[in-house]
Chains A and B, each alone.
Chain A
Amino acid sequence: MADLKDRIEGLRKEFEAAALKAGDAKAVEELRTAFLSRKRGHITLLFEDLKSVPAEEKREAGRLVNELKTAVVDRLQALEAEARTAVRPARAIDLTLPGRKRYAGSLHPLTLFQEEIERVFLGMGFAIEEGPEIETDYYNFEALNFPPHHPARDKWDTLFIKGDLLLRTHTSPVQVRVMERSKPPIRIICPGRVFRRETPDPTHLPMFMQVEGLVIDKGVTFAHLKGTLEYFIRALFGEKVKLRFRPSFFPFTEPSAEVDIECIVCSGKDPGCRVCAGTGWKEILGSGMVDPQVLKNVNIDPEKYSGWAFGLGIDRTAMFAFGIPEMRYFYENDLRFLRQFGTK
């Protein structure tokens, strides 16, 4: 009993000394834990020890322990109240306030993606060429080896103005104009708006952005087409991306190839993938060796020169790259959409 009394007295002194030093809420909390923690608190342990006190002394011992506990609890409450109302030193400046940023506008995602494409080709010595959006049937179709009334025109469903004027369905007319006015070697890309009579759906709109490319020189081969386009696509989508070239048809190239890129959304594992429909491949661009008739139409001798060309939809490629489900988002111009690309 005497032993217990000593321990109680010792703890009381220890508590009071610590209480005097507890200057802030954190110290008060530590003190509470040391004395009242449900597992290891000093007072909790005292109650444990009470069990081994002989029966006749239990009453007195219990009173003393409870007295200590009450004193500790009351004092802690007072200390906590004090800590809450403590006067904190004034600050000259609150450095945690948010910084002041000058607002910078963001460029349109299609502009940014187009510039990304342009940079790759500029690095390979390509020039950027542009041309009119209202074109003639000759530049849009005939010069590109689409005979009049040929069903091949159906794939390039056209918006007509009047007479032989129409809205260009691709930027290929720019290629023709450049070939007409310059001599090989030619290496250009032609970005721009194009128009098709498409019923709008998530991946089709009557207006979109396209970039085409053209190389004409002596000794240009299909192997060059492959190597250059592989380099381009890997520059956009990463070194590891898988590609395949498969035969296709365009009136202005022969042979023609479409280039598929491995689906970066599902890698061919999701049969219901909305990007690749489970095929594992996503068509990314059309290409081919420039048709000899196209060269003849612009007075370039196909026996002397050869070339390759490609065309790619900027919108659809950007959708694929950024995971954007609907093409129309690009033209809704919702600032909450556009501004995200300020950091691209």
Chain B
Amino acid sequence: MKISLDWLREYVAVDLPRQEILDKLTMIGLVADTTEERDGDLVMDLETYANRPDTLGHLGVAREMAALLGLPLIEKDWPLAELPEATTDIADVQIAAEALCPRYCGIVVRNVPVGPSPEWLTRRIEAMGLRPVNNVVDVSNYVLFATAQPIHTFDFGRIGGGRIVVRKAKRGETLVDLDGRTLALAADMLVIADESRPVALAGVIGGQASGITESTRDVFIESAHFDPVGIRKTAKALGLATDASYRFERGSDIGFAPQAALMAASLLTRMGGRASRGLIDRYPRPPKATTVRLRLRRIAELLGVEVPETFVVDVLGRLGFRVDGAPKGPWRVEVPTFRVDVSREADLVEEIARFYGYDRIPSEVTPVDSFAPVVNRTRDRLARIRETLAGQGLDEVINWSFADPEREAAVASGRSPVAIQNPISNRASVMRTSLFPGLLENAAWNLNRGVEGVHIFELGNVFYWGGDEKHREDLHLGLLSTGLLPGAGFAAPAAATDFYVLKGAVEAALEALRFDPAGFEERDHPSYEPGRALAVLYRGQEIGRLGLLRRDLAASASVDGPVYAAEIDLSALFEKTPRAFEYVPVPKLPGAVRDLSFLMDRSVTYGEIARALGRLDQPLLEGFELVDRFSGAPLPADKVSLTIRLRFRHPQRTLVAGEVDRAEQEIVGHLRSALAIQLREGKN
């Protein structure tokens, strides 16, 4: 809200340096976002709040200023040059929708010479950032910015029958507004009509046909109170927002409607018009004044400071509240009609705090008797995953939760996307069902800027419609690896990433949380190249996928070269119980190690060997690892050699000569019969 300091001074004789005025306004909650010097005037753009429509005019801001400085609010006289004829003789006002319009005031000013405004008025209008139109329009804007009460002026000659009917629109009615738009009116919209048709959309915008023109002679001034919700619904439905609707939807001062009409009439008579005698004021059911009980004790309880009772009574009085009661309270506080934000004790406590000064309230640490720290297990787990993956050389990224529906479809997550009704753009119109589109975009962005390898992960939610038409929100971990691996140097040349880098990262993350051993099963999926994808399982349930992303999918995000990616459903995983942590004593007895190289068909997998070894009942076999894999000459093309390190140990005693040999032979024999693989000749 633009506030001119000159204009403000019409209401309060504030005589302080500008910076001090700005500081004082700030400390009661009226902060100037910007200020502008205008011909010796200072125009402040004050930040205002949705609950304080009274500050949307100079009078309201002046009232705050006067209360703060202990100055009187200057009241002005609005004398009228009156005609002998009574307003009721020439005009009639009828409210047919009382809930939407509880009060309506009107008066006619005849023989208004429509023309340019006097200099003092154009100056005020221009300070508000508006262009002067003519004296009648300028007067109505002046009243609005002075008092926050919107008024509307009609060409009285164009009001059929001199009759004003405040009613709901009829089915099919339209109105051409002041800006020439044809508005299709809905049945719940409030209109101002004459005897036959709507002449204005109540509280929002006037009609063109009844607007002020050069040939207007007689002006009908409307000053009303409209239901805030009704105005807001209408303005929203039609996509209109005017200075009037902005104020009405926040709540105008129902008590001020007559004064605003008289103020406008007075200004127009000052310009040569003559006002009809007596204001029409339709106010069928004036509500009872709002009263609030206020306790001194409550002020201290909420603010943490003892505010003197004289201060309380004094400041509320200056702000226009009527305070009754014993000197130390409790008080019965009557709220003025312009303070639509105050209806409870807490609201009054805020008024006390604002004027007492937030800076005078002491600072204390919130006391705590004792607390049992609540562990957020999910967050702890995520922190562990982050730490582990960073240790694997992956960088963390954070992407939009929104996604491009086309990219979503290409990823083929198989989940039904949740659409946004009013998206920022068509390319961000659904919620992501997978972390892949974001990760791919990150890869493309970085590769295009000369980064040679992208190895990243993200923790975030994906969204989709469940089969039961309920939305789902699952926490996922996404990983992507493409290009050269980091950490190359003079001693280790740059190497390209591969499938096992990604698999290792997934294994490391799961192990760090003791969700291991994880199972991996070859399983095709539309996001991945055929034969290049694994399902990740924990305790038999699929919790994710990993593999080589489909090349056309990567290419559609402008990433060439192989892209390895994985996605783990952490929501599903975290529902499961991880392996319990268990301390195992470090063995004191020596063990034995045997490296065995097996020659086998390429059709046999390491996984099969590992499973076979795992199932073996060989008490001396403590564990085993794959330590080498070799193929190519001199081996036949369809063969591969795996070297497996077997670790033997007896739990209670030292191994006896020969028993390791027997165990080894048993293992080799078992593998030979189970998988038809054998020891490589001459290499043992």
Contacts and interface: CB of A to CB of B under 8 A. Distances in A.
Interface of A: 97-98, 100-108, 110-111, 115, 122, 124-125, 127-130, 132-134, 148-152, 154-155, 159-162, 165, 167, 185, 187, 193, 195, 197-200, 206-207, 215, 217, 219-228, 230-231, 244-249, 251, 254-257, 277, 289, 291-293, 302, 306, 308, 330-336, 338-339
B376 A129 contact: yes
B365 A255 contact: no
Contacts of A150: 50, 232
B423 interface: yes
Given A223-B305, A224-B367, A255 B455 contact: no
A187 B368 contact: yes
Given A161-B421, A195-B401, A249-B52, A215 B366 contact: yes
B583 interface: no
B350 interface: yes
A106 B424 contact: no
A125 B31 contact: no
Contacts of B401: 133, 167, 193, 195, 207
Given A111-B386, A151-B232, A333-B456, A223 B304 contact: yes
A105 B392 contact: yes
25 contacts: A97-B490, A104-B393, A105-B389, A108-B398, A125-B373, A127-B373, A134-B471, A154-B50, A160-B421, A193-B460, A193-B461, A197-B424, A206-B402, A206-B428, A207-B401, A219-B301, A222-B304, A226-B363, A227-B364, A244-B359, A245-B361, A246-B358, A332-B445, A334-B445, A335-B451
Interface in B369-423: 369, 371, 373-374, 376, 378-379, 383, 386, 389-402, 418-423
B29 A220 contact: no
Given A134-B471, A151-B250, A226 B361 contact: yes
Contacts of B376: 127-130
Interface stretch (B211-219, B341-349, B633-641): B341-349
Given A151-B232, A255-B354, A289-B346, A160 B396 contact: no
Contacts of A160: 420-422
Contact of B390 (A101, A105, A115): A105
A245 B451 contact: no
Nearest to B229: A149
Given A228-B366, A333-B446, 16 more contacts: A100-B491, A105-B395, A105-B455, A110-B398, A124-B368, A134-B431, A149-B229, A159-B420, A167-B401, A221-B301, A247-B358, A251-B51, A255-B349, A331-B400, A333-B398, A335-B395
A224 B420 contact: no
A98 B449 contact: no
Contact of A103 (B368, B463, B486): B486
Nearest to A110: B398
A219 B454 CA distance: 53
B393 A125 contact: no
Contacts of B397: 108, 333, 338
Contacts of B383: 115
Contact of A223 (B250, B354, B364): B364
A91 to B, nearest CB: 16
A308 to B, nearest CB: 8
Contact of A161 (B52, B420, B487): B420
Nearest to A292: B346
A289 B49 CA distance: 17
